[in-house]
Structure 1
């Protein structure tokens, strides 16, 4: 089976590989645009980015499964939350979506994101580390390393893969 990942981000690629236990798999990562703003600013926009990546990855990679993972932010009365969404596209089923961890960003980070900066570069400045988005992510910084971006997206991928397996099994039993 060929699984097409709609991203070249190493954290996302590792998370996808972590979620599949089958032996005979081929993973291909493609740089697929999300079709949304570089910094998604709501759950809806972040979901759309994930679905767009999954659907386009499936088409362009000519695989059996396309995966889209997208990070974003969601403004609430309590502050700006980090959010992450994933989508799994496969032939003959509607894209499956799932959301993952959320937490409130420190106000000094949120202010910069609200002003139009992307979270990734803001986190590089904040943490004084390069490429935070490709490694520990904001979640790794703000959980003191207890959870990193790979862990966060692996959890999300496990939800997606589990839903996919359930749907496949349900279709086979019809």
Structure 2
């Protein structure tokens, strides 16, 4: 079976390859149809679902996956958030969210002015392509967990839900 993931970002593609190693994985440019920098759980989840549907539409009889990173506020603190969605050939949709980590409050003004977290992180860390490498989570966890590993947890949750549901359908 082929799986198309709605991104060309290597951290997200590698997460899918790690969890679905026995499948053919292909990245595709698919629009999230949300802000370039999603600003809530809801918007981030919607972006993941839109990417999964767009990926599934490119895949005749396989799975479509969308992974989306965003930011959100909890008790006036800025957090990193991430969501994933998996769409089956029958249009069943599975969603999952992953790790969250507090981000520096000084990022808020730049984010509210329209800058994306990846750009802010590149300036902050003095590193290039942070969102295609360790991500904010890698920097702020001292590389104990990187962006690909963070998304691997989400992809595991998606795969587990899909396999469980498939197993239940075969029982009946």
Q: Which TM bucket (shorter chain)?
A: over 0.9
1:13 aligns with 2:13: yes
Pick the aligned partner of 1:87 from 63, 82, 85: 85
Alignment size in residue pairs: 172
Separation in 2 of the partners of 1:49 and 1:8?
Answer: 15
In structure 1, what is the equivalent of residue 24 of structure 2? 26
Query: TM-score if structure 1 supplies the norm length?
Result: 0.95
Q: Deviations over 1:61-94 (max 9, x none)?
A: 3341000000001122241111000000002242
Structure 2 residue runs without a partner (length 5+): none
In structure 2, what is the equivalent of residue 165 of structure 1? 163
Separation in 2 of the partners of 1:63 and 1:151?
Answer: 27
Pick the aligned partner of 2:54 from 53, 56, 72: 56
Answer yes or no: is the 8 Å Cα contact 1:3–1:63 preserved in 2.
no
Separation in 1 of the partners of 2:91 and 2:12?
Answer: 23
**RMSD across aligned positions (CA):** 1.1
Query: TM-score if structure 2 supplies the norm length?
Result: 0.96
Structure 1 residue runs without a partner (length 5+): none
Which aligned runs of 4 or more in structure 1 are off by greater than 2 angstroms? none
* Pairwise CA distance, 1:107: 1.1
Separation in 2 of the partners of 1:159 and 1:78?
Answer: 28
